[in-house]
Amino acid sequence: AQSVTQLGSHVSVSEGALVLLRCNYSSSVPPYLFWYVQYPNQGLQLLLKYTSAATLVKGINGFEAEFKKSETSFHLTKPSAHMSDAAEYFCAVSDRGTGGFKTIFGAGTRLFVKA
Amino acid sequence: DGGITQSPKYLFRKEGQNVTLSCEQNLNHDAMYWYRQDPGQGLRLIYYSQIVNDFQKGDIAEGYSVSREKKESFPLTVTSAQKNPTAFYLCASSVPGTATNYGYTFGSGTRLTVV
């Protein structure tokens, strides 16, 4: 069965510092992986996705993520945090199970950016 | 611009009352989904529909009902049988078979509170 674990429910960084949000997954078949961002009282917006092409995926707002099969990880990074990056971030995995394709979301990591 | 509209943004329900959350999309997507979001639990799938006049239960369908009479609309009714309905509800859509590798488009959500 597929699952997603986001390490750390809260992450705090200073403005200009590196952002690293961790995501580990389990899947019995090659997965599709996603990162979404959610601002307060808003829906989720797709940041980036991995679909078995390049292992380093670039998304919107300067974010990128690297698929590491050996580590079953898909961590999200941004070289320099901006105040506007403060939001909640969700990792999601999708693969074909017995009931067809299914998407599972992680519990989310809230990013705080300090001035 | 194409998108998903959820209404109302905030909804209050009395004990024992049924309420209906609206979800309308003009993206011409065949597939639509309802998710429930609780703090620290990520998103959980309530119902989904791949085509008009057809829908399937998700992981937490008890106490909820849906209809799909039109491609554009996928309303969710929270019935009195749902014992803990206070949550943030998100509607999403996708082209069928592509949510796996292209992700979802989300609405901005409805926050339901029991009073």
DSSP state of B73: B
Cβ–Cβ < 8 Å for A57, A76: no
Phi, psi of A56 (to 5 degrees): -100, 120
* For residue B112, pLDDT beyond 80: yes
pLDDT tens, residue by residue, B75-94: 999 998 888 999 999 999 98
Predicted pLDDT at A100: 59
User: What is the number of H-type helices and E-type strands within chain B?
Assistant: 1, 11
Sign of CA dihedral B98, B7, B85, A42: positive
Cβ–Cβ < 8 Å for B52, B71: yes
Tokens standing for residue A103? 């998407």
User: Per mean pLDDT, which range of A54-63, B46-55, B101-110 is the poorest?
Assistant: B101-110
* For residue A98, pLDDT beyond 60: no
pLDDT (mean) for B29-34:
91
pLDDT (mean) for B5-16:
92
Cβ-based contacts of B108 with chain A (< 8 Å): 41-43
Cβ–Cβ < 8 Å for B63, B85: yes
pLDDT grade, residue A1 (50/70/90)? low
pLDDT tens, residue by residue, A3-52: 899 999 999 999 999 999 999 998 777 788 999 999 988 999 999 998 87
Between B6 and A102, residue with greater pLDDT: B6
pLDDT (mean) for B67-74:
97
Our CA-based measurement puts residue B99 at a distance from the nearest CA of chain A, in whole angstroms, of: 8
* For residue A102, pLDDT beyond 80: no
Cβ–Cβ < 8 Å for A6, A74: no
CA distance B67 to A101: 22
- Which of A60, A90, A103, A110 to mutate: most B Cβ within 10 Å? A103
**By CA distance, what is B4's nearest residue in A?**
A43
CB-count exposure of residue B40 (10 Å: 0-12, 13-18, 19+) = exposed
pLDDT grade, residue B15 (50/70/90)? confident
How far out from the chain centre does Cα B64 lie?
10
CA distance B70 to A51: 31
CA distance B29 to B101: 15
**By CA distance, what is A106's nearest residue in B?**
B42
Predicted pLDDT at B38: 92
Predicted pLDDT at A9: 93
Predicted pLDDT at A101: 67
* Percentage of chain A lying above the pLDDT 90 cut: 70
Predicted pLDDT at B101: 59
Cβ-based contacts of B103 with chain A (< 8 Å): 34, 36, 46, 49, 92
What would you report as the CA-atom Rg of chain B, rounded to the nearest whole angstrom? 13
Sign of CA dihedral A11, A15, A16, A17: negative
CA distance B67 to B53: 7
* Percentage of chain A lying above the pLDDT 70 cut: 94
The neighbour count for residue A38, using CB atoms within 10 Å, is 21
Cβ-based contacts of A101 with chain B (< 8 Å): 97, 99-100
